Amino acid sequence: MRVAIHTFGTRGDVQPYIALALGLMEQGHRVQLAAPVQFENMVRDNGIAFAPLPGEMLALIDTTDGKAAIAGGQGFSAGLKLLKHVRPMMRALLDAEWKAAQAFMPDIFVYHPKAIAVPHMAEALQRRFILASPLPGFTPTSAFPSPMLPFKDLGGLNRISHTAAIRGADLLFGKILSAWRAEQLGLTRRRTPAVALSGTLYAYSRHTVPVPPDWGRDVLVSGYWFLDSKNWRLPDDVEAFLADGPPPIYVGFGSMPGLDPDRMTATVFEALARTGKRGVLALGSGALSAERRARHVHIIRDAPHDRLFPHMHAIIHHGGAGTTAAALRAGKPMAICPFFGDQPFWARRVLELGVGLHLNRRALSVERLTAAIVAMDAPLMRRQAEALGSRIREEDGIATAVRFIEAAANKSLAEP
């Protein structure tokens, strides 16, 4: 079977799909992964066929406008502020996805919600397609509102909020999609595809977000798709720091940019000092600064979470789906300081599960961060985090997802 995986976004939007690709390849399937060109080495280093997609939209995060939008955003509002930059780039992205699909001619597509060309390409090629997402929000439910909205519960409007999220791409890029369908795919002009989804995969654990009772059998919460770094070892300086005292607290904000990284770093240093804790700071994409130094803090550029987090006492991070998953699997308490998108949703979830805290980034102070670090020492929180981690470690999300994809691909297009 030939499986085309299309994804778009930051590392957290790509890494799980590399893990899925490897799982499919282990079962003898041929896979091509289409993703932003920035991740070419990461994909090819795992022996996966790669189709590059334009990286200009991803690079927006590090521009002045991108940093300002994320710093002031809540939910999907950051993305809306960047629409004036994104829309002119859409046609090149759609064309690149179509080029990749034509070159590979898959039997089935598996796609991230941001890869909005896939349903239309599946219609043109008469192929099945499966939506695969690292977060819920693309299957209507009354259980909770869309994770892209900054609300814990909207009551009777929960289901409608998901419908709005599902139609978001059509509303924002409908005209572009309609014209592209006609000009490139030879299809009728319309905003939505004329073929039905073959199923929906959610790459997170049912222990993290319970499966809503109003979802059908065509929706599967498989468990997380972890990409383990089997050949990576801790650098000597990190090993030496770990051996020199009690387990430290990890602080890192992944791909998030920073408007004032010096201030954020100073806040972290002081809060760690006040609590007598040691820390490992991962610089990532600029939310933290490398200018400050102290004996109780070790600074790294980045490191695989699956290898680093088990050595940590607790985790402070931005709430990306992938980082949250890694912290949960490690069984560590966490404090999430969300920036935008679905990050506030994961912050609310870890708080509700009793395994972490939700921090307001724009109101973050030394006092508040100090209190959070102290709170993560609570025996109950630590027991609950370890218990949840144990349940997550027992799951095999990739194998479960592969079986789901195989079953969908074996159906005829006439079957629902």
Domain ranges of the chain: 2-134+167-224+396-409, 236-393
User: What is the H or E stretch that residue 202 is in?
Assistant: strand 200-202
Segment 269-289, tens digit of pLDDT: 999 999 999 999 999 877 898
Q: What is the pLDDT of residue 200?
A: 97
DSSP state of 262: H
What DSSP assignment string belongs to 113-162?
TT-TTHHHHHHHHT-EEEEEESSS-SS--SSS--TTSS-S--GGGHHHHH
CATH 3.40.50.720 assigned to 236-393: no
> 84 or 3: which carries more pLDDT confidence?
3
What is the amino acid identity at position 401? A
Q: What is the pLDDT of residue 254?
A: 85
Residues 6+ apart with CB under 8 A from 289: 258, 261, 262, 264, 265, 283
Place of tokens 């039997």: 107
pLDDT-derived band at 79 (thresholds 50, 70, 90) equals low
Residues 6+ apart with CB under 8 A from 152: 144, 145, 348
Determine which of 23-27, 76-80, 371-375, 411-415 has the lowest per-residue pLDDT on average: 76-80
| pLDDT at position 68 over 80 | no
Q: What is the pLDDT of residue 369?
A: 98
Write the burial class of residue 159 (CB in 10 Å: 0-12 exposed, 13-18 middle, 19+ buried): middle
Question: Nearest Cα to 370, choosing from 299, 308, 279?
Answer: 279
What DSSP assignment string belongs to 173-197?
HHHHHHHHIIIII-PPS-SS-SS--
Determine which of 18-22, 195-199, 244-248, 305-309 has the lowest per-residue pLDDT on average: 195-199
User: What is the H or E stretch that residue 314 is in?
Assistant: strand 314-317
Q: What is the pLDDT of residue 149?
A: 84
| pLDDT at position 42 over 80 | yes
Express as a percent the part of the chain with pLDDT over 70: 92
Judge whether 2-134+167-224+396-409 and 236-393 match in fold: yes
Question: Nearest Cα to 201, choosing from 112, 91, 312?
Answer: 112
Q: Which residues on neighbouring strands pair with residue 31, listed in sequence order?
A: 3
Q: What is the pLDDT of residue 56?
A: 78
> 72 or 368: which carries more pLDDT confidence?
368
Largest CA distance in the chain: 66
Segment 251-269, tens digit of pLDDT: 999 877 776 889 999 999 9
| pLDDT at position 75 over 50 | no
pTM for the model stands at: 0.92
Superfamily of domain 2-134+167-224+396-409: Glycogen Phosphorylase B; (3.40.50.2000)
Contact 93, 99 (CB under 8 A): no
Return the sign of the alpha-carbon dihedral for residues 403, 409, 415, 416: positive
pLDDT-derived band at 74 (thresholds 50, 70, 90) equals very low
Q: What is the pLDDT of residue 178?
A: 93
